[in-house]
Chain A
Amino acid sequence: MSVAGLTQGTRPGSGAWRRLAEGRTLPVLTVVLIILALWYVAAVGLNAPQVRDRLNRSGQNWSTSDLVAATWSMERPVLPTPDQIAAEFYKSVFATPITSKRSLLYHAYVTASATVVGFLLGSLLGILLAVGVVHQRTLDRSLMPWIIASQTIPILAIAPMIIVVLGNFGFIGLLPKSIISMYLCFFPVAIGMAKGLRSPDPLQMDLMHSYNASRGQVFWKLRWPASVPFLFASLKVAIAISLVGAIVGELPTGATAGLGARLLSGSYFGQTVQIWSALLMAALLGAGLVYLVALIERVVLARMGMRR
């Protein structure tokens, strides 16, 4: 680090280029380019058998470049190329009205709303559990094993049950998906929050004791503010897995809307390009939601005067 800094200090180069080389942009860009190159190579490899079959059956002579071009432009490839995915993504996001069932934004909206509702419910549940566990030894000993055990059950196994049971009571659509999200995301919040509420050091606790502070005062003036950084760290994990929960919740219902439904119908009809563009959308949605939580974290911690 220091050696690199020294050599660069003695060799003044063009500002923009140096910023690019020293910052994170260049390394990230390089990796992206390598991945894209490997992707195109893999697309040729994976799609070639089908293409070769077709070309042979057509009876015409074909060259390697014909083969490569064909593998990169199949309608239902095993592995679509990035440009095919980008084109499909553009078409279903920007060239389709948002009210249409073909609009990826519409599906993203459906999944996002289930994600956010599940995230809010799960976070609330997680915080309440943490508060209980920290203040009551009995709750700590009786609930904690169950909280941990709940996460050892594969969500794919429990999701259909939740949907069937809730459907029986007339709940369909958003709520069952949110419940599955909640089931996944309360866990990191409960664990992180419990750790945060226990984070004040003994001196800070003694101080409250010496003031003869009530339990409520200790909670609101010490435990709660001390736990905020821990809470946000958990919330970032929680919102990401809440999205996973919502998508998983869309799979067994045969839902007609949402990114999960889009993935499922794509795989029914071999629409790999559609699957990949839904996947891209899910990734962007996840990143966007995490970024949003991180943004709120920055604002809140800055207001609390915490260095970040």
Chain B
Amino acid sequence: MPKASLKIVSDKTKIADAPAIEIRGLSLVFATADTPVIALSNIDLSIRRGEFVSFIGPSGCGKTTLMRVIADLEQQTEGEITVNGVSPREARQARAYGYVFQAPALYAWRSVLANVTLPLEIMNLPRAERQARAAKYLEMVGLTGFERKFPWQLSGGMQQRVSIARALSFEPQLLLMDEPFGALDEITRDHLNEHLIRLWEQTRKTVVFVTHSIAEAVFLSSRIVVMSPRPGRIIDVIDNSLPGKRTLDIRDTSEFLAVAHRVREALYAGRSYAD
């Protein structure tokens, strides 16, 4: 009996200071018509609360799939994963994460405001609270004054900012961002990168960020996970503690270039023994 109660106590403490994401020996194999595709092979990764972690790698390295497993949009075939100390499914049911997709995925029949309040409606929050939160997060992404516009009236960058406000609006502890700026031009992208890093500094949420761009990964992240395809796996995890405040100018410093160089080396190493 005392044993059991002890176990509950330790479970509780485990949840309280559990890492944001804990992955052990995770693999995912897609059964296709001819040969099974190994999308993820033996992934081990631990992400602490408040970290900004980027997954970088060439197409087909499984970075999006790994993110979808974290979000319970895909299930692993082997291994274990916990999100906030519980299974991804329970985390999803507890609305523990906000997901920003490659495309804005806004609903065309909803105004900017109504798009941001969508998750809040689903959570049955009272109307006043919905409006207040939407106003707060639209301001945070610099879209105050656009509440009544419809998605087609906005540029691609603005649409993606709406989708970020939507992910923030229900105040999840964890933000999953899957190449959110991939389809945008470089100027808009730079601008949104700077926006995002300020946002992270303000809120200190755990962010998992998928990208193709080395510069983006080095600029944003506190840790960079380099992945490689066939089979999708982690080949290096690079700590990135650039000194000082991160502004776009930092990209010309030698420290920045050194980290970018390490990432590039790792990517090349991964490629050489994949083909």
A305 and B99: CB pair below 8 A? no
Per-residue interface assignment for chain A, residues 123 to 159, with 1 indicating a CB less than 8 Å from any chain B CB and 0 otherwise: 0000000000000000000000000000000000000
Q: Known contacts A207-B101, A207-B105, A305-B150; decide if A221 and B92 are in contact (CB<8 Å).
A: no
Residues of B within 8 A of A226 (CB): 107, 109
Q: Contacting A210 at CB < 8 Å: which of B92, B107, B109, B150?
A: B92
A209, A211, A306: the one within 8 Å of B109 (CB): A306
Whether A206 pairs with B101 at a CB distance below 8 angstroms is yes
Shortest distance in angstroms between B73's beta carbon and chain A's nearest beta carbon? 5
Is there an interface contact between B105 and A305, defined as CB atoms closer than 8 Å? no
* Interface residue? A255 (CB, 8 A): no
Residue A53 lies at the interface, judged by CB distance under 8 Å to chain B: no
Give complex CA distance A116, B102 in Å: 45
Let me know if B214 is at the binding interface, CB within 8 A.
Answer: no
Interface-centre pick from A206, A226, A228, A305 (highest chain B CB count, 10 A)? A305
Whether the Cβ atoms of A305 and B121 lie closer than 8 Å is no
**Which B residues lie within 8 Å of A213 (CB)?**
122
Is the CB of B195 closer than 8 A to any CB of chain A? no
Q: Is the CB of B152 within 8 A of A307?
A: yes
A contact residues around B101 at 8 Å (CB): 203, 206-207
Bound Cα distance A209, B95 (Å): 10
B60 contacts chain A at the CB level, 8 A cutoff: no
- Residue B52 is within 8 A (CB to CB) of chain A in the complex: no
Q: How far is the CB of B239 from chain A (nearest CB, A)?
A: 29
A10 close to B (CB within 8 Å): no
B105 touches A201 (CB 8 A): yes
Min CB–CB distance B71 → chain A (angstroms): 6
Q: Which of A201, A210, A304, A307 contacts B97 (CB 8 A)?
A: A210
B residues in contact with A207, CB < 8 Å: 99, 101, 105
| A88-146 residues at the B interface, CB under 8 angstroms | none
**Residues of chain A with a CB closer than 8 A to B170's CB:** 211
Interface of chain B, main secondary structure: loop
The answer to whether B107 touches A222 (Cβ under 8 A) is yes
Bound form: Cα–Cα A210–B118 in Å: 12
Count how many pairs of residues, one from A and one from B, have CB atoms less than 8 Å apart in the complex: 57
A304 and B109 within 8 A (CB): yes
A228 to B108, CA, bound (A): 12
Instruction: Report chain A residues within 8 Å CB of B152.
Output: 307
Within 8 A of A (CB), among B48-102: 71-73, 92-93, 95, 97-99, 101-102
Q: Which residues of B are found within 8 Å of A304, using beta-carbon distances?
A: 109
Given contacts A211-B95, A212-B93, A305-B111, is CB(A203)–CB(B121) below 8 Å? no
A-chain residues with CB within 8 Å of residue B108 when the two chains form the complex = 305-306
A225 sits at the interface (CB 8 A)? yes
| Residue A73, interface by CB 8 Å | no
Residue of A nearest to B111 (CB): A305
Q: What's the nearest-Cβ distance from chain B to residue A307, in Å?
A: 5
Indicate whether A212 sits within 8 Å of B95 (C-beta atoms), given known contacts A203-B103, A206-B101, A221-B122: yes
Interface residue? A217 (CB, 8 A): yes
Query: Is B92 touching A212 in the complex (CB atoms < 8 A)?
Result: yes
CB pair A206–B99 under 8 Å, yes or no, is yes
Write out the residue numbers on chain A whose beta carbons fall within 8 Å of the beta carbon of B157: none
A204 within 8 A of B: yes
Does chain A have a CB within 8 A of B119?
Answer: yes
Minimal beta-carbon separation of B58 from chain A (angstroms): 22
Given contacts A210-B71, A307-B152, contact A225 B93 (CB under 8 A): no
CA distance A206 to B74 in the complex (A): 10
Please name all residues of chain B whose beta carbon is closer than 8 Å to the beta carbon of A228 when the two chains form the complex: 109
Minimum CB–CB distance from B74 to chain A (whole Å) comes to 10
Q: How far is the CA of A127 from the CA of B108 in the complex (A)?
A: 22
Q: Closest chain B residue to A210 by CB distance? A: B99
Separation of A222 and B119 alpha carbons in the complex (Å)? 12
Task: Assess whether B103 is in contact with A225, with CB atoms less than 8 Å apart.
Answer: no
What string of 1s and 0s marks CB contacts (under 8 Å) between A290-308 and chain B? Answer: 0000000000000011110
In the complex, the answer to whether B118 meets A221 with C-beta atoms within 8 Å is yes
- Which residue numbers of A lie inside 8 Å of B, CB to CB? 201, 203-204, 206-213, 217, 221-222, 225-226, 228, 304-307
Given A206-B105, A221-B121, A222-B107, output 10 extra A-B contacts at Cβ < 8 Å.
Answer: A206-B73, A209-B73, A210-B92, A210-B98, A212-B92, A212-B122, A217-B122, A225-B109, A306-B108, A306-B109
12 interchain pairs, CB-CB under 8 A = A201-B105, A203-B101, A203-B103, A207-B99, A207-B101, A209-B72, A221-B121, A222-B107, A226-B107, A305-B111, A306-B108, A307-B152
Interface residues of B (CB under 8 A from A): 71-73, 92-93, 95, 97-99, 101-103, 105, 107-111, 118-119, 121-123, 150, 152, 170
In the A-B complex, the 3 residue pairs with the closest CB atoms = A305-B150, A203-B105, A304-B109
